[in-house]
Structure 1
Amino acid sequence: MKFLKIFLLSFLLVSCNKKETDKTLIVGTAADNPPYEFIQDGEIVGIDIDIIKAISERLNKKVIIKNFDFNGLLAALVSENIDVAVAELSITPERAEYISFSDHYATARFAIIYRTGDNIKNSKDLENKIVGVQLGSVLEKKAQDLSQTMNIKVHSLANHLMLVEELKARVIDAIISEEFQGKKLKENNSNLESSPLEEFSSNFAIGMSKNSGLISEVNEAIDSLKKDGTINKIMKKWLGQ
């Protein structure tokens, strides 16, 4: 009888925990990428955060946001420590071997960030330069590809804001980043400039584990948010366009 009571109690606890888990969406992000995800007044905010909150509303789930270094996000997904990842996450064949992607919710172009007065306007001007990129990002791979045909030294760091400080300190000569991120950094740093990198573009999506049961629900939510204009409103809110 005592064993039966313990078993039933354990079953109830597991059931309660499962119900609570079903009501929450644990989101991993890397909050050093304004305007997509960054910390403002102690809170993680931005385009990606508003989009995932809108998705969670459609799924009737409460959002719990966890902050990681960007290069730790995929490991968190694979180990299922988080349910989804949002952090300017580009769809690539290499990543698709380890994680699942939602349908894309945004298409991004990229830019070169450099110091005011430096003669850097396009990828050709990166010859003989030290180029900073975020560790584990799709742009790290793009920069490495450029270095195969040009004399470029690729400098990778986990934190994007650390790259900005190294650019200002002349440790590196330029940063390759997402276009609107470049514009935001220019707004916040009067000694920096940003120029479009026309040859690069990417689709952003939400990352999930291979075992995730959320993929179809998340895709339905993204489709709904596109059709009703919610995603466009979020973009306009943060980009002013």
Structure 2
Amino acid sequence: MKYSRLLGAFATALTLLAFIPLSANATDDVLRVGTDATFPPMEFIKDGQRTGFDVELIEALGKQMNKKVEWIDIGFKGLIPGLISKRFDVAASAIYMTDERRKVVDFTDSYFRGGLAVLVLKDDKTINSPADLVAGKKVSAQVGTKSIAYLQEHYPGVKVVEVEKNQAMFDLLTINRVNAAVTGRPAAAEFARVEPRVRVLDEGLTTELYGFAMRKGDTDLAVQMNAALQTLRGNGEYAALSEKWFGAQE
């Protein structure tokens, strides 16, 4: 598998891990959270403020834990290295709980089920299912995400066009520079909602679980966050956020 860019980030993370004590925890009253706020409806900037499902969920978790949330903005590919180098305590950015990532970070319990989806132009009748991603097709995907490695392994004939930001991936599709874009289904559905020229294929590529990432061995923080998440599920706050951002579907 052509994991060069993705595994490069993991290699960096592993190197950092060797020099960092495993007992590092968030301070008593502050929870520092790293995010790449370019992925609506999960995390994005609106009117100069961070918002989205992940953002509001983290804020609710912080309140349950009696911690003030301090946000740190960082590109997606820098989330795991930044987490391990102690720039922040938690990474919250629609992160899939993959086996590769579990090698270098721990996760909370899963808080959302999603997966990779394919976006195409509505008037493109040549791509109606993932099976139509054949040799010669160009597909945009964001660096540091599972999308790139998945496409390279399962669709080796397509040309993967790597971009730094989610919006750039969408822009390439709308100006017809690529034939498709692959990203998480929540972001794909949100973009299709506001951009009438595109559609999301009904058939997805994968089913994934999202989790909030923490440094290896930070068990106290994991216990606190999981307990807070369970409380939010029990008191209706999680359901309210889900309905607000996804129409009451988890």
AA in 2 matched with 1:159: K
Does residue 198 of structure 2 align to residue 192 of structure 1? Answer: yes
Matching residue of 1:82: 88
Structure 1's 200 and 127: CA in aligned 2 closer, same or farther, altered over 3 A? same
Instruction: Check the 8 A contact 2:34/2:88 in 1, yes or no.
Output: yes
Matching residue of 1:183: 189
**Within 2, Cα distance between the matches of 1:232 and 1:158?**
32
Matching residue of 1:108: 114
Q: Percent identity?
A: 27
Instruction: Check the 8 A contact 2:118/2:204 in 1, yes or no.
Output: no
Matching residue of 1:63: 69
Q: Deviations over 1:192-234 (max 9, x none)?
A: 1112333411000000111424111111111222222322211
How many Å apart are 1:57 and its aligned residue? 0.8
AA in 1 matched with 2:58: I
**Within 1, Cα distance between the matches of 2:73 and 2:121?**
29
Q: Deviations over 1:17-65 (max 9, x none)?
A: xxx9421111111111110001110001000011111110111000111
**Within 2, Cα distance between the matches of 1:226 and 1:152?**
41
Secondary structure of the residue aligned to 2:227 is helix
Matching residue of 2:152: 144
AA in 1 matched with 2:57: I
Matching residue of 1:157: 163
**Which ranges of structure 2 fall in alignment gaps of 5 or more residues?**
1-25
TM-score of the two chains, using structure 1 as the length reference = 0.86
Secondary structure of the residue aligned to 2:228 is helix
Matching residue of 2:47: 41
Matching residue of 2:207: 201
**Within 2, Cα distance between the matches of 1:180 and 1:147?**
22
Q: Deviations over 1:98-121 (max 9, x none)?
A: 111111011113321111201222
**Within 2, Cα distance between the matches of 1:93 and 1:68?**
23
AA in 2 matched with 1:121: N
Instruction: Check the 8 A contact 1:110/1:196 in 2, yes or no.
Output: no
Secondary structure of the residue aligned to 1:132 is strand
Aligned-residue CA RMSD (Å) = 1.6
How many Å apart are 1:147 and its aligned residue? 2.4
Does residue 229 of structure 2 align to residue 222 of structure 1? Answer: yes
Structure 1's 197 and 67: CA in aligned 2 closer, same or farther, altered over 3 A? farther
TM-score of the two chains, using structure 2 as the length reference = 0.83
Matching residue of 1:73: 79
Which residue, 119, 123, 131 being the options, matches 1:124?
131
Between the two proteins, the alignment pairs up a number of residues equal to: 220
Matching residue of 1:133: 141
How many Å apart are 1:174 and its aligned residue? 0.7
Instruction: Check the 8 A contact 2:232/2:238 in 1, yes or no.
Output: yes
Structure 1's 201 and 181: CA in aligned 2 closer, same or farther, altered over 3 A? same
How many Å apart are 1:158 and its aligned residue? 2.1
Instruction: Check the 8 A contact 2:140/2:161 in 1, yes or no.
Output: yes
Structure 1, 24-33 or 118-127: larger mean CA deviation:
118-127
AA in 2 matched with 1:189: E
Does residue 242 of structure 2 align to residue 235 of structure 1? Answer: yes
Secondary structure of the residue aligned to 1:190 is coil
Does residue 177 of structure 2 align to residue 171 of structure 1? Answer: yes
Larger Rg: 1
AA in 1 matched with 2:162: S
